[in-house]
Each structure stands twice: as C-alpha cells, then as structure tokens.
Amino acid sequence: MVLNKFVEEIGDKALKGEPIQPEDAMKLAGLGDEYLFDILFLADKIRNRYRGKKVNLCSIVNAKSGKCPEDCSFCAQSAHFKTDIQEFPFLEEEKILQRANDSKKLGAHEFSIVTSGKGVKGDEFKRVTEAIAGIKANNSIIRCASLGTLDTDTAKSLKEAGLQNYHHNLETSRSFFPNICSTHSYDENIETIKAAKKAGLFVCSGGIFGMGESWEQRIEMAFTLKELDVDSVPINFLNPIKGTELGNMPLMKPFEALMTIALFRFVLPKKEIVVCGGREVTLGDLQPFIFMAGASGILIGNYLTTKGRSPEQDLKMIEDLGLEI
C-alpha cells in the first residue's frame, strides 16, 4: 500500500511511541478526505500495537436526571433549557444494582453511575457510596462514577467505598470552553481530574465534538489530555437536542468524525479511546470504521437522555470485525 509520505512518517513515530507535535496533528487534519484512509490505516496499526484486538465495553446508568444548574450548551439536562426529557431524583440502590447486573450480562466490563448537577453531597453522596459498595459486593464489573466536580478528599472517600474509575469530561479545549459553559471554569475540570488521579482512581476524560470548535481546538484538547495523563478518553459527537443552545447545530460529517478519532489515536497512542454518544446518528453505516480509526472501546446501550442501538448489534459488529470483547 502506497501511503502519503508525511502520514507514514508521523505514523511511524506514533508506532514507536515517540510523541508527535501539535503542528504534526494539524498537518494531518489539513490533508482532508483524500488521505483519510492513509491516516486510518496507520491509526489502526497504532491501536493494534498498543491495545491489541480487545474491545472495552462500558455502560452507564442515568442515576439522577435533569434540573442541573449548569448551563452547558449541549445538555438536555440543564435547567437553563426547555427539553423533553424525563426528570427524576437519585435512583433507588436496587435499580442501580440491577442495571449493573444487566450490563455485566451483556458483556460490559465497566459500569458508571452518572448524575446531573455540579457535584453530589450530603445524603445524595451517601447514597452514591452505598450503591458503589453494593455493586462491589454483588458484581465483578469495574465500578465507575461521573458525579461532576470534586476535590481530593471526596475522591478518596469514593475510592474507599469501592470506586475504581472516575469520569469527568473536559468537554472541549480551554480556548473554546467559554462558548460551551459559563457556570464553572475550565480550571475546575482540570482540578477534578488531578484530584481523582491523586486519590488513585483510574481517570476517564474526553469531550464532545461537532459543537463549532476548530481543528486547532480539537488538537489543543488532545494535548491537554496528554499532559494530564488521563487513562481513558471518551469521544462523543454532538447529537443536537431540541431546546438546547446547540439544538440546531448540523451533525458532524462521518469522515470528519473518523479523522477526529484517528488524530486522538496518533496523539495518545497507548491510551484507551472509547467512542460513546452520538456515534449512531453521526456515523450511521460507517460505525465499524471507528476501530480502524483507532478506537479501542465503545459505550453500549443507551446514553443519558438519548437511545443507543441494541447491544446485540454492537456485539455482532465486534465479532464480524474479528475483534474480541
């Protein structure tokens, strides 16, 4: 296979574990669709070198929905927007445990408790820790939570309760973040990631693409995640929700989405890269290409306020590609 020389050169660097520079990533992005499959060819080799043929499956439960005081412009759960979502307080522990058991049966090896709001405290925090302990006692699935911003002491308390992973997205780059949220700062996101790492938790942090950010800002975010040394990077694509500030944004083009995944694989060759929300509506029939683009995991089942496709379809896709759970 004859490859674009620059793509081959940067791909070789990533395959050797040598860092690529932001200007290299920008040049790759600038090559456009003509060279996309050259880039995917090498992204696939990088994924295979460092992550092998194993696919990480994770799933989530929306444990508290709606009435969030944050004003994130993409979010259907924000109290700042009128959206047609179901709102409910923190779920009963039995329902969370049942969802964890169902996820395990489907093949997921990680399960995350997700709540709306800036953070959890008081009785709500107690209920979260009890649910984590309950999952630990009854299920071998990896325990994760996404509860908003936190400090080191709170992260340590979660770990003591049995939490293993903590998820907190940067959402986008620092330079674009003011376009997305005004109710908390980018530094609060950074400090949350540092606190979780300091507490000894495996940290999952990524963002949403297709919100109007530039290629420079996508790459800026990738290098921020590299600097923070997060363990896993969830990549979401905006699924515009009617009533939100970004409700009329067009979907990202499929080739642009695949290029985004591939660039993150080049920048973060050894990290877990998990494609999550928005993949169905953004990629359609091209979903199997996410693995060629460098993804090493997916979120199966439903998302927070939108439907995913059936887990059986995803399991069949993985089997047909010759990959393994």
Q: What is the pLDDT of residues 208-261, one digit of tens each?
A: 999 999 999 999 999 999 999 999 999 999 999 999 999 999 999 999 999 999
The number of angstroms, rounded, from the C-alpha of 280 to the middle of its chain's C-alpha atoms is: 15
59 contacts 104 by C-beta, under 8 angstroms:
no
> Helix (H) and strand (E) counts for the chain?
12, 9
167 contacts 112 by C-beta, under 8 angstroms:
yes
Under DSSP, is residue 82 helix (H, G, I), strand (E, B) or coil? coil
Look at residue 3 in the predicted model and tell me its pLDDT.
74
Q: What is the 3-state secondary structure (H, E, C) of 108-149?
A: CCEEEEEECCCCCCHHHHHHHHHHHHHHHHHCCCEEEEECCC
Q: What is the pLDDT of residues 129-187, one digit of tens each?
A: 999 999 999 899 999 999 999 999 999 999 999 999 999 999 999 999 999 999 999 99
Enumerate domains of the chain plus CATH numbers.
Answer: 5-320 (3.20.20.70)
Look at residue 2 in the predicted model and tell me its pLDDT.
53
On whether the pTM is more than 0.85, the answer is yes
What angle in degrees, to the nearest 10, is found between the helix axes of 215-228 and 22-30? 140
Token pair, residue 76, equals: 């259907």
Distance CA 262, CA 38 (A): 11
Distance CA 305, CA 222 (A): 26
Q: What is the per-residue DSSP string for 39-55?
A: HHHHHHHHHHHHHTTB-
Look at residue 65 in the predicted model and tell me its pLDDT.
79
CA proximity to 257, closest of 292, 309, 229: 292
Look at residue 307 in the predicted model and tell me its pLDDT.
80
49 contacts 102 by C-beta, under 8 angstroms:
no
62 contacts 73 by C-beta, under 8 angstroms:
no
Token pair, residue 278, equals: 């928005």
Rounded average pLDDT over 271-290: 97
